[in-house]
Chain A
C-alpha cells in the first residue's frame, strides 16, 4: 500500500511538471483556468491545452503500456533483459505503420495507427518463438541478440523503404522516432481504449502467467492451459505495445528498467507488479520527457534518447548479475 501511494505521488509530481514546466512556464492557476475557464487569448493556457495536455496523455499511455508490457514479457520469458523495445516488438509495430502509411499515402490517421497492432503481434510472436516460450527457456544472450537481429532487420527494411521514397521522410520522422512531441496529432482516445483492454487481459491472466513460470508440467497440474495463457500474454503485450508505439513511436528500455523496480515493491505478486509498473512507467517517461525538454531548451531531446541514456547503464547492471545457464 505504501509503495502504491508513493508511486501515485511521484506520478502526480511528474504530471504537474509536464503541464507546467517548459519554454513557456505556467502556474497552477493557469492550469486551473485552462481546464475550467479557458481563455484562448492567454498564451500559457493555450500551450497547456493544445500542447501539454496531449503530451501528458500520450506519456501516460506510452509509459503505462511499455511498463506493463515489459513486466509481462519478463514474466513469460523468465528473462530480466526482456523489453518490447530491445526485443523488436516496437520496431515491428513501427514497420507495419510505415508500410501502411506508404501504401495509403496518409501518415496521421487512426486507421494507420491501428496497424501497430498486427505489426506488434507478429514481432512478439517471433520473440516468443525465439525466446523458447514453448519448451525450454532461452538464455539472456540468445534472447537479447535475437532482439538485436530483429531490430536491425526491421530498421534496415524501414530505412531501405524510406530512403528510396524521398517524399516520405516525414513518415519516418513521425513514426520511427520515439518522441512525445507530436502527441496532439495522435489518436489518443482510441489508444487509451486499446491500452485499457490490454491491461484488463494482463490483469486477468496474471495468476496463470505466474503458474506458468513454475514450469509447464506444474502449471498443467494446477489447472492452467499453457497455450491459452501464452496467447493471452501475447494479446496483452500486443495491445499495450501497439498503443504505446501509436502515440509515441518506438521507445526502448522503459520495459527493461520498470519491472525490476516494480517487482521489488510488489513483493513478487504479478498483479500488483502490473499496477505498480503502469504507475512507474508513466512517471519515468514523463520525468524523462520533461528533462529532455529542459536541458537543451528551447530545443528538445526526444524522450526515446533520454530513456536509452538511462536504460543502457541499467542494462549493463542487470547483465552483470546474470550467470550463464541461469534463467533468473
Chain B
C-alpha cells in the first residue's frame, strides 16, 4: 500500500511540475486560480499551453508502460518490450509511409496496422529453420526488424520535402511538442478501451504465467489467450506511437521500475504499476527536455534515450550473471 502511495504521489508531483515549468514559471497558486476562474495566465497555461501536452505525455507513457509489461510477463523476460522487439518502429514506419504516400487514414489506425504487421513478421521469422522457437531468437529477430523499419523510415524521410522531413525526423525520435486536446483525448480514449480489454485478459495472463501445462489444465485456451494478449500489447504500443512517436525505452523501463516501487508481483498489479510508472517517466522526461535548454524544446525521445540506455546496460550486466543470453 505504501508503495502505491509513493508511486501516485510521484506522478502527481511530476504532473504539477510539468504544468508549472516552461517558458514562464507558473506557481501552483496561479494554476489554481486559473482552473477555477477560467481567466488569466494560469487558465491559458492549463487550457492551451501545457495542459494538453502534459495529459498526452501521461497517456502515452501509461499505454507504453502497460504494453511493455504485457510482453515482459508473457515472455518471462525483462528484455522483451515493444521498443526492443521492433513493434514500435514498425508502427512508426507505417505512420511515416502513410504521410509520405498520402494515405488518408487516421494515425492510430496506421500505427496499429504497422505494429501488428511488425509483430506478425517477427513471430514468423523467429521460427528457426528446425522449427524451434525461443525468446532468444524472438528478441534478436525483433531487433533486426526494428533496424529495418528504422532504415526504411529514414529512406522515406529523405524523399519528403525539407520542412516535412524535419518534422518527420523529430517525430521519429519521439516528440510531444505542440500536442492538442485532440491528441490527449485520442490516447486516453483508445487507452481506456484497451485497458478494459486487458482487465478481461488478466486472469488468463496470470494462469499463463504459471506455465502452459498448468494453464491448459485450468481451462485456458493457450494459443487464443496468447494471441489475444499479444494483440492488446501491440495495440497499446501503437496508441502511444500515434500521439508521441516511437519514444524509446519507456516500455522497457516502466514495468520493472513500477514493480519495484509499488512492491507488487501479481500481473494485474504489475500492469497498473507499469502504466503509472510509464506516465511518470514520460512526463518527467518531457519536463526535463523542455527545461534543459532555455527557449528550446528537445524531443522527449532524446531524454528517454539518456535515461533508458544506462538502464538497459545495467540490465544486461545483471542478466549476464544469470547466464543464458
Interface residues of A (CB under 8 A from B): 81, 86, 130, 132, 138-142, 144-146, 148-150, 152-153, 155-157, 159-160, 163-164, 166, 253, 296, 299, 301-302, 305, 308-309, 311-313, 315-316, 319-325
A132–B320 Cα distance when bound, in Å, is: 10
Question: Which B residues are in CB contact (< 8 Å) with A316?
Answer: 125, 141, 144-145, 148
Nearest opposing residue in chain A for B295, CB measure: A164
Q: How many residues on the B side are at the interface (Cβ–Cβ under 8 A)? A: 47
A164–B173 Cα distance when bound, in Å, is: 15
Nearest opposing residue in chain A for B317, CB measure: A130
A–B pairs, 17, beta carbons within 8 Å: A144-B140, A149-B308, A152-B248, A163-B302, A253-B147, A305-B151, A305-B154, A308-B147, A309-B148, A309-B151, A312-B151, A315-B143, A319-B140, A320-B125, A320-B141, A322-B137, A324-B134
A148–B158 Cα distance when bound, in Å, is: 23
A140→B140 contact, CB < 8 A: yes
B173→A320 contact, CB < 8 A: no
Question: Which A residues are in CB contact (< 8 Å) with B173?
Answer: 159
**Is B29 part of the binding interface, using a Cβ–Cβ cutoff of 8 Å?**
no
A163–B305 Cα distance when bound, in Å, is: 15
B306→A146 contact, CB < 8 A: no
Question: Which B residues are in CB contact (< 8 Å) with A163?
Answer: 293, 296, 298-299, 302
Rounded to whole Å, the gap between the CB of B88 and the closest CB of chain A is 13
B136→A141 contact, CB < 8 A: yes
Our pick among A139, A153, A164, A299 for the contact of B309 (Cβ within 8 Å) is A153
Within 8 A of A (CB), among B138-189: 139-141, 143-145, 147-148, 150-152, 154-155, 158-159, 173
A110–B18 Cα distance when bound, in Å, is: 44
Question: Which B residues are in CB contact (< 8 Å) with A301?
Answer: 155, 158
Our pick among A132, A153, A166, A309 for the contact of B306 (Cβ within 8 Å) is A153
Our pick among B150, B305, B310, B324 for the contact of A308 (Cβ within 8 Å) is B150
**Is B316 part of the binding interface, using a Cβ–Cβ cutoff of 8 Å?**
yes
The 5 closest A-B pairs by CB, nearest first: A156-B305, A308-B151, A312-B148, A153-B309, A316-B144
Most buried by B among A130, A132, A166, A305: A305
Within 8 A of A (CB), among B240-294: 248-249, 292-293
Question: Which B residues are in CB contact (< 8 Å) with A305?
Answer: 151, 154-155, 158
Question: Which A residues are in CB contact (< 8 Å) with B125?
Answer: 316, 320
Question: Which B residues are in CB contact (< 8 Å) with A324?
Answer: 134, 136, 324-325
**Is B213 part of the binding interface, using a Cβ–Cβ cutoff of 8 Å?**
no
Question: Which A residues are in CB contact (< 8 Å) with B139?
Answer: 141, 145
Nearest opposing residue in chain B for A157, CB measure: B306
A302→B141 contact, CB < 8 A: no
Nearest opposing residue in chain A for B136, CB measure: A324
Our pick among B84, B129, B151, B324 for the contact of A145 (Cβ within 8 Å) is B84
| Contact (A156, B152) CB under 8 Å given A301-B158, A315-B144, A324-B136 | no
Question: Which A residues are in CB contact (< 8 Å) with B319?
Answer: 142
B152→A309 contact, CB < 8 A: yes
Rounded to whole Å, the gap between the CB of A151 and the closest CB of chain B is 8
B324→A153 contact, CB < 8 A: no
**Is B76 part of the binding interface, using a Cβ–Cβ cutoff of 8 Å?**
no
Nearest opposing residue in chain A for B320, CB measure: A142
Nearest opposing residue in chain B for A126, CB measure: B313
Question: Which B residues are in CB contact (< 8 Å) with A148?
Answer: 84, 143, 312
Within 8 A of A (CB), among B84-100: 84
**Is B45 part of the binding interface, using a Cβ–Cβ cutoff of 8 Å?**
no
Known: A149-B313, A149-B316, A159-B173. 5 other contacts (CB 8 A): A132-B320, A141-B139, A144-B140, A149-B310, A325-B324
B313→A319 contact, CB < 8 A: no
A325–B325 Cα distance when bound, in Å, is: 7
Question: Which A residues are in CB contact (< 8 Å) with B72?
Answer: none
B140→A312 contact, CB < 8 A: no
**Is B79 part of the binding interface, using a Cβ–Cβ cutoff of 8 Å?**
yes
B154→A130 contact, CB < 8 A: no
Nearest opposing residue in chain B for A129, CB measure: B317
Question: Which A residues are in CB contact (< 8 Å) with B141?
Answer: 316, 319-320
Question: Which A residues are in CB contact (< 8 Å) with B136?
Answer: 141, 322-324
Question: Which A residues are in CB contact (< 8 Å) with B151?
Answer: 305, 308-309, 312
Nearest opposing residue in chain B for A136, CB measure: B320
**Is B203 part of the binding interface, using a Cβ–Cβ cutoff of 8 Å?**
no
Question: Which A residues are in CB contact (< 8 Å) with B150?
Answer: 308
